Structures are given as structure tokens and as C-alpha cells.
Amino acid sequence: MAKARIILYITAALALVALLIAGTLAYRYYTAEVRGVVSAEEQIESAGSRITNYEHFYDLCAAVQGHEDALAAQRRAMESAAGDEAERIRANIAGLEAQRNRAIRNYNADARKAYTRARFLGEDLPRELDTDQEHTQCAY
């Protein structure tokens, strides 16, 4: 009889442990989405994230303008160039145009990330840059 009672207690203890484990796992499963949203929001809205993302758009826009300045310098140099020098400058212009377009596409892609980065797009910056526009107005 005592042996049966010990087995019953051990079985009850194991069942209780299994029930606690199952309950804990169920709680974690059903609250994962809420905890994930809160965690993501805390990370996005943290001071470091806010500052980094805000400055990110100014940096991207300044990069586009830097490519435009380099393009203008190459086009001015092209006016007096001939032969191999003109070919080199044409290649430079093609490369700079590709870099500028890539920088614009990066800016536009980040400006569309409404849940994360786009929240911090400065009010004085455009919502989108145009690759066909010759001069970008934003950082200065």
C-alpha cells in the first residue's frame, strides 16, 4: 500500500511538472507576437536608433549631392578634353551617374520603410528623389 502511494505521489509530481512546462510553453507561444511587437517598438524608438535613422537620410541625400558635384566637375573637364582624356572622363561620368542613381534608389527605398526608418525622415527632406532630376535639393 505504501509502495502504491509513493508511485501515486511521484506520478502526480511528474504530471504537475509536465503541466507547468506545458503551461509555460503555451504562455510563451500565445504572447510571443505581443512581446515581439513591444520589443521591436522599443528598439525602433530607442534614442540611438532615432538619431541614427534621422541622420541616415541627411547622409544619403548629401551623398547624392556629392555625386552631382562630381558629375558637374567631370562635365566641365569634358569641355576642354580630347582623345584619351575625353574617353576617361566619359567613363568617369558613366560611373558617377550609376553611383548617383544607386544612392537615390537607396534613399527612396529607405524612405518607404514606413514601419522603421521612414518615421525619422526629416521634415525638410523630400519623401522621394528623382533620378531624372539633375539637381537634388535637400541637405543644403
Helix (H), strand (E), coil (C) string for 44-112: HCCHHHHHHHHHHHHHHHHHHHHHHHHHHHHHHHHHCCCCHHHHHHHHHHHHHHHHHHHHHHHHHHHHC
| Matching residue, cell 504537475 | 16
The predicted pLDDT at position 139 comes to 57
The predicted pLDDT at position 125 comes to 87
Written as tens digits, the pLDDT of the chain (140 aa) is 788 888 988 999 999 999 999 999 888 888 888 877 777 777 777 877 778 888 888 999 999 999 999 999 999 999 998 899 999 999 999 999 999 999 999 999 999 987 778 887 888 888 899 999 888 887 55
The predicted pLDDT at position 21 comes to 93
